[in-house]
Amino acid sequence: MKAAVAFIACLFVAAHAVPVTTTTSPTGATTTTTASGATQSHYGRCGGLDYTGPTVCAPPYICVYQNFWISQCL
């Protein structure tokens, strides 16, 4: 059972990961940017049944599946 929950949590986190774009200029300089928009703070809710708020956590936190009703930025 724990393996199934861990697997589902991994899928949820992967589905709600922050999109990152990395570009390299002709001079070799690298720039990394993340998607803009609302982010949830530490311990904030980031998913679950009927949740309609931000689903992306502020760095360095990730959205962790707790149960069917709630996911939290940890």
36: phi then psi, degrees, rounded to nearest 5: -90, 165
Q: Are 11 and 47 in contact (CB under 8 A)?
A: no
26: phi then psi, degrees, rounded to nearest 5: -60, -25
- Helix ranges restricted to H, the chain: 2-15
Task: Please count the structural domains in the chain.
Answer: 1
pLDDT at 26: 73
Q: What's the pLDDT tens digit per position in 22-72? A: 556 677 665 555 556 899 999 999 999 999 999 999 999 999 999 999 999
- Residue 55 burial by Cβ neighbours in a 10 Å radius (0-12, 13-18, 19+): buried
Q: Which domain holds residue 28?
A: 2-73
Q: What's the pLDDT tens digit per position in 6-23? A: 445 444 544 455 555 555
pLDDT at 27: 74
